[in-house]
Amino acid sequence: MQNLTLNEPEQVLSTYFGYSVFRPNQREAIMEVLKGHDVFVLMPTGGGKSLCYQIPAMLMPGVTIVVSPLIALMKDQVDALQANGIEAAFLNSSMSWQEQNEVTHRVKTGQIKLLYVAPERFKGQDGAFLSMLDQLQPSLIAVDEAHCISHWGHDFRPDYLELSVLKSRFPSTPVIALTASADQTTRDDIIAKLKLQNPQVFTSSFNRSNIFYEVRDSVDSTGELIDFLNTNKGEAGIIYTLKRSSTEELAEQVNAAGFKAMAYHAGLSRDERERCQDLFLKDEISVIVATVAFGMGIDKSNVRFVVHMSMPKNIESYYQETGRAGRDGLESKALLFFNYGDMHTLRYFATIDGNDAQTAIMLDKLNQMVAFCELRSCRRQYLMNYFGESHPDVCGKCDVCLSEYHSVDYTTEAQKALSAVARLNQTYGAEMITLLLKGSQSKKMTDWMRALKTYGVGSDRPATFWKSLLRELCSKGYLSQEGNPMPVYKLTGESMKLLRGEEKFIVQEKPDARPVHQRTGADKSSDNGSDRRLFERLRVVRKEIADEEGKPPFVVLSDKSLHELATFFPQTLGDLHYINGFGQVKTERYGSTFIDVIQKFCKEHDIAPKPNHLYRKSAQNNPTGSAGINKNSAERKPSAGRLQSAALSYQIYRTGKTIEEVAAERGLATSTICGHLEIYVGRGMIEVEELVDSSTINQIHEIVKNNPNARLKEIKEAAGQDVTYEEIRFVIAASGS
């Protein structure tokens, strides 16, 4: 690759990563780090945390140390960086001494910009690693998954505590801590434990707007799962189950139904687990049936769905596990099968022997998870509120928002249930109450129970109805639950109002139990207007390249890039400049292969390429839900040829030449070159300040402010002799007005 001297975050973003617009908070966090300050970044999974330290790493003189909890994750990140032409490496205990020495040597001789290490590195080996860092004086230390340092978080790892020495040992090295999951307590704890100095905290929205949330009461969850898979054929997904044994069983059933699936759990050997992950990453199998052990090490960006066969243990886990879908920003689904029976297992998991306080925290979290499953209001709003964000009532992208609930009067049923609780002396849980109502012949029903008036009064309804009614009564305050691990129902002060008929018990119910996506079309494939046939072809080519290079396909190119190729049909290497993910290295390495496929496809199908302004990279469609700045620089529509020519001008300009010099070198008019650069100003890749002095910029802004509809000519007249049309165009392109 050409040896460019890059000094701006935007340049690194575009040249190495192939993106042209920062997502919210990325640039701000990067600038803070570059100033040498400590930074705390809180962004959802897929929000783009990595760039917050990867870009400073490229702009700072020495090496950046990245602490990351999992070996598998490190390897993927290093692969992805290398694929973009960035020198990165990792050190971990699975490597031989020789391999470790080799990496150490490359680090010491300044050949590595980013070094990934596990937290264990910082203890052990008689402080050997810390001594090495003493010599190196790293430019930046990044602590990924920083919540692992706090026992308030949901994933405490004692090794992370070793990191508290960093600030005292390297006081002048900025530390950036990043996490996708932290409530206020955890956040404060992270900052305290890492001893961050007045860190600026950047918090991005936790809304994963590209994920569709759905919860179903499961009657035949396996059958429904197979139906669901059939509507998502060919897509990659993760299915979570609670127990190891059920992963194997379910994987078999899924395979029998014609999908390539494998089971994954902690009981497999390390080799087996690695093989399974590897096949999934490489798109050899599309479905993983796993316990929660799977996923922490997974950075696959094109996971299209996550299914929970049973409820996770808390909202944090649910959010994190579902968050593994759609990291590339494309539409994805999160489906959960809710079964109250799983509560026993989960309560058991939540109980920590000899630690009542911690147990209480865990049980409370579990109850909030149950409440999420039983919601009759927008699920996204609930999730956002949970993480301390506000969100409107209706998201339009969850099952609740898309279904028409209707009110049903269950006062009589509620009275039956409450009197069953009373007759059983408020000393039994849902199971016994239901048996009583159903008039069960079970041996659990003793003679005195069978003699009760309420015995059998609810035989006309299924047991699931009564269980869910009890929960609903509980959540509305007509019942309370006490005791652990086998909670019993008790009456409350409110119960009498229902029993005496002073109040009605109205419940919101779904009119039909068919899965939402079959009713609403929410399931339409997520092609975003791209040509499916071409997409499939590109996918095959990507897989071939990936196999050849021994990398996962999404490291070669993301699904998003393939969709853009299949939307815009770029015809030349220059056009690729406008496709997300094509930085310089990927353009050089893979560009012509993909262009060939596209050209051939266009010929076969008689498709005229789209020479249009849609060739505009942006941070749109990003998981944080912000629109990104889509500057419509006067909606000019450069042709594919012009785009190619513009790309060349831009590249020459970026070598440090003036506009006149670029024009001379290319044998074109300066006005033409200005037209080219204007496109890049519009994309935020050239700061307008580079081209126009600030007083002129202010002057033009002022004119436009007073007359927002002013035409170019009018602005020129108002600005006077000294201001050129080109300058006006640059300023307008930059402000997107």
Contacts 24+ apart (CB under 8 A), 395-400: 397/209, 397/211, 397/212, 397/213, 397/522, 398/212, 398/213, 398/214, 399/213, 399/214, 399/215, 399/216, 399/516, 400/375, 400/376
The least distance separating ligand ADP from the CB of residue 682, rounded to whole angstroms, comes to 16
Q: Which residues of 129-157 are buried (b: 16+ CB within 10 A; e: fewer)?
A: bbebbeebebbbbbbbbbbbbbebbbbeb
CB 681 → ligand ADP: shortest distance, Å? 18
Helix extents (H) in 288-328: 315-322
Least separation in angstroms between residue 679's CB and ligand ADP is 18
The distance from CA 553 to its chain's CA centroid, rounded to whole angstroms, is 18
**Partner touching 380 among Zn ion, ligand ADP, none, CB below 5 to 8 Å by kind:** Zn ion
> Interaction with ligand ADP in 566-585: which residues (CB under 6 A)?
580
Using the contact rule CB under 5 A, the part of the chain among 60-68, 169-177, 314-322, 379-387 near Zn ion is 379-387
Q: For 64, phi and psi rounded to 5 degrees?
A: -105, 130
DSSP 424-493: TTT---HHHHHHHHHT---TTS-HHHHTSTTTTTTTTS-HHHHHHHHHHHHHTTSEEEE-SSS-EEEE-T
Q: Does 380 bind Zn ion (CB under 5 A)?
A: yes
Phi, psi of 435 (to 5 degrees): -60, -40
Among the listed residues 16, 22, 372, 568, the single contact to ligand ADP using CB under 6 A: 22
Stretch that binds ligand ADP, among 20-28, 244-252, 437-445, 481-489 (CB under 6 A): 20-28
Candidates 15, 92, 186, 301: give the one binding ligand ADP (CB under 6 A).
Answer: 301
Query: How many residues of this chain interact with ligand ADP, rule: CB under 6 A?
Result: 19
Sign of CA dihedral 264, 265, 269, 271: positive
Minimum distance from residue 210 beta carbon to Zn ion (Å): 14
For residue 314 the two structure tokens come to 């808390």
Contact partners, residue 454, CB within 8 Å, separation at least 6 = 416, 419, 420, 423, 436, 437
DSSP string for residues in 26-89: HHHHHHHHHTT--EEEE--TTS-HHHHHHHHHHHSSS-EEEE-S-HHHHHHHHHHHHHTT--EE
Q: Is 542 in the site for ligand ADP (CB under 6 A)?
A: no
Adjacency order of strands within the sheet including 64-67: 88-91, 114-117, 64-67, 140-143, 175-179, 39-42, 200-203
Site for Zn ion (CB under 5 A): which residue of 91, 242, 398, 474? 398
Write out the binding residues for ligand ADP, residues 464-483 only, by CB under 6 A.
Answer: none
In this structure, what DSSP letter does residue 23 have? Answer: P
Binding window for ligand ADP (CB under 6 A); candidates: 38-46, 81-89, 314-322, 365-373: 38-46
Among 29, 42, 51, 262, binds ligand ADP (CB under 6 A): 51
Select the residue interacting with Zn ion from 395, 473, 479, 491 (CB under 5 A). 395
Least separation in angstroms between CB 400 and Zn ion: 6
Burial 97-111 (b: 16+ CB within 10 A, else e): eeeeeebbeebeeee
551 binds ligand ADP (CB under 6 A): no
Of 48-56, 395-403, 406-414, 440-448, which part binds ligand ADP (CB under 6 A)? Answer: 48-56
Per partner kind, with CB cut-offs from 5 to 8 A, the member of Zn ion, ligand ADP, none near residue 51 is ligand ADP
Closest CB to ligand ADP among residues 286, 561: 561
Q: Which of Zn ion, ligand ADP, none has residue 601 at its interface (CB below 5 to 8 Å by kind)?
A: none
- Between 389 and 547, name the residue whose CB sits nearer to Zn ion: 389
CB of 91 to Zn ion, least distance (A): 44
Rounded Cα distance, 402 and 394, in Å: 9
Between 248 and 328, name the residue whose CB sits nearer to ligand ADP.
328
Q: Which stretch binds ligand ADP (CB under 6 A): 49-57, 194-202, 350-358, 447-455?
A: 49-57
CB of 338 to Zn ion, least distance (A): 17
Strand-pair partners of 178: 41
Q: Which of 166, 378, 417, 619 binds Zn ion (CB under 5 A)?
A: 378
Nearer to ligand ADP, 50 or 322 (CB): 50
Distance between CA 475 and CA 366 in Å, rounded? 14
Q: Is 326 a binder of ligand ADP (CB under 6 A)?
A: no
Near ligand ADP by CB under 6 A: residue from 216, 282, 327, 416: 327
49 binds, among Zn ion, ligand ADP, none (CB under 5 to 8 A by kind): ligand ADP
Q: Which residue has the tokens 């499961």?
A: 218
Q: Any contact of residue 631 with ligand ADP (CB under 6 A)?
A: no
Six-digit token string for 711: 């035409």
Query: Which listed residue (14, 50, 649, 696) binds ligand ADP by CB under 6 A?
Result: 50
Amino acid identity for residue 256 in this structure? A
Question: Which residue's CB is nearer to ligand ADP, number 23 or number 423?
Answer: 23
Give the nearer residue to ligand ADP in terms of CB position, either 311 or 619: 619
Structure tokens, 320: 């994190």
Q: CA angle, 511 as apex, 509 and 515 as ends, to 5°?
A: 100
| CA pair distance 455, 442, nearest whole angstrom | 12
> Which CB, 19 or 116, lies closer to ligand ADP?
19
Task: Please say which residue, 401 or 703, places its beta carbon nearer to Zn ion.
Answer: 401
Work out which of 133, 619, 700, 715 binds ligand ADP, going by CB under 6 A. Answer: 619
C-beta atoms surrounding 215 within 10 Å: 21
617/613 Cα distance (integer angstroms): 10
What is the rounded CA–CA span in Å between residue 316 and residue 183? 10
Q: Are strands 211-217 and 332-338 parallel, antiparallel or unpaired?
A: parallel
Nearer of residues 247 and 618 to ligand ADP, judged by Cβ: 618
Considering the rule CB under 5 A, would residue 401 count as an interface residue with Zn ion?
A: yes
- Comparing C-alpha atoms, which of 8, 13, 32 is closest to residue 23? 13
Q: Which residues of this protein are in contact with ligand ADP, per CB under 6 A? A: 19, 21-23, 26, 43, 45-51, 301, 327-328, 558, 580, 619
Contacts with Zn ion, residue ranges (CB under 5 A): 378, 380, 395, 398, 401
